[in-house]
Structure 1
C-alpha cells in the first residue's frame, strides 16, 4: 500500500469511485493478463476474430489450446494407471490444464468481458456450452485420478442427538 493511500485511509478520506488503487490486486492483474492473452489468441486466428464476433466456440477452442501448457497429468482410458489416485510409476499420458484452473480462468474472463463493455446477455464465457465443457473436464479428470465426482448433497437439519458438539474432545496420547 502506498504511503498516500495509507494516509487517506487513516484520515477517513476516500478516493472517487473512478480512481483505481495504485497497484491492482493479484486477481485484477491476473484478470487483465488473461483478457490480453485471450485478445491476442483471437488476433492470431486466421482470419482474425474481433471481440464483437467472438462466441462460445472461440472460447472452447481457446481452452483446448491452453491444454498444451497444462501441468496436471490426466491419464487416458487405455493407461494402466487410469483411475489410480497415486500411480506407482510415470506414464506417457498428457499434461493438461486442471479443471480448477480452467474454471477460475473462465470466471475472470467472464468478468473482464463485461468490464470491457460486453453485455451480460452476449457474454461468450457465460454460455451453457462453456458450463457443459467445464463439467465434462471436471468429471473426466476425477475419473482419471480414481476419484469419482459426486455432487454434494445439502445436509438436512441434524437432530440434537446427532450433533457431536456436546461430546468431550478426543485426546491422543
Structure 2
C-alpha cells in the first residue's frame, strides 16, 4: 500500500502509521461482491417474450399502448408470430392432410405449434401482472384468447393427424394386501409382589380388503378393538 504522507515515495514499514491530520490520507478499498443467482430459463424466456410483445405494440399501426390492449390484439399478435413458425400445418386440400408422417414435402405453410402458443400465453399472462397489470384486465387471460387457442389445437390436430390429449393426473400407487386370517395381538402386564396380579389383555383386529381383479379400488381398513379383560390369580 503506497504512502500518501509528506515526502518519500517508498512503501511504509509495518510499524508506520498514517497520520491522522495533515496532508495525506490512506484509504483501503474493500470490494464486496454478492453472488447473484442467474435467472432461470423460464424467467429469461418470459422477459424476452414480454419485450417482444412491447416492441410489437410499438410498431403497431397505429401505435398501441399496453393499457388499450385487448384480447383481440393478443390474437392478432399470435397470428403475426405464425410467419416465424416451423410446424407444417396441412391445408384441407393437401394430399397429406391428417397424415402424421407425410412421405414427401408439400407447399403447405409453416405455423407456430399450438403447444408453443399456449406456453407463450402463459408466460405473457404472468409477465403482465408482474409489470403492474391488474388480473381482472389481463388481455392474455381473455376468453377470446382461450377460444382461439382451442381452435388452433383442434385444427392442428386434424391437419397433422396428431391428437392433443389432456394429461390425466396419475393416482399415487397403493399397495393392496389380502389376509384371510384375523391377527390378534395381546399384551400381558403382571404386577409382582402382590397378592393378586392383574393381567390386561388388549386385542386389535385389522382386516384389509383389496380388489383381486387389479382394479383401481381403494383399500378398506377396518380396525376393531375388544374391551380389555381382567383376570385375578392368587399367589401362595
Matched, 1:129 2:135: no
Matched, 1:101 2:116: yes
What is the TM-score when the length of structure 1 is the normalising length? 0.77
- Greater RCO (Cα-Cα under 8 Å, separation 6 or more): 1
Q: Contact 1:75–1:82 (CA<8 Å) still a contact in 2? A: yes
Give the structure with the higher percent helix.
Answer: 1
Give the structure with the higher percent strand.
Answer: 2
Q: How does 1:107-126 map to 2 (within 5 A)?
A: 107-126=122-141
CA–CA distance in structure 2, aligned partners of residues 125 and 101 of structure 1: 15
The one of 187, 191, 213 aligned to 1:161: 213
Q: Contact 1:143–1:149 (CA<8 Å) still a contact in 2? A: no
Q: Which runs of 5+ in 1 are unaligned?
A: 6-20, 165-173
**Secondary structure, in 3 states, of the residue corresponding to 1:33?**
helix
RMSD: 2.5
Q: Structure 2 vs 1, CA of residues 23 and 86 (structure 1 numbering), >3 Å: closer, same or farther?
A: same
Counterpart for residue 61 of structure 2: 46
What is the TM-score when the length of structure 2 is the normalising length? 0.57
User: How far off its partner does 1:113 sit?
Assistant: 0.2
User: How far off its partner does 1:24 sit?
Assistant: 1.1
Q: How does 1:64-103 map to 2 (within 5 A)?
A: 64-103=79-118
CA–CA distance in structure 2, aligned partners of residues 151 and 39 of structure 1: 32
Q: Contact 1:84–1:146 (CA<8 Å) still a contact in 2? A: yes
Structure 1 runs of 4+ with >4 Å offset: 149-156
Q: Which runs of 5+ in 2 are unaligned?
A: 1-32, 172-210, 217-236
User: How far off its partner does 1:147 sit?
Assistant: 2.8
- Cα deviation, 1:82-131, whole Å, max 9, x if unaligned, reads 01110111000000000010001000000000000000000000011111
Matched residues, number: 147
Larger Rg: 2
User: How far off its partner does 1:4 sit?
Assistant: 5.1
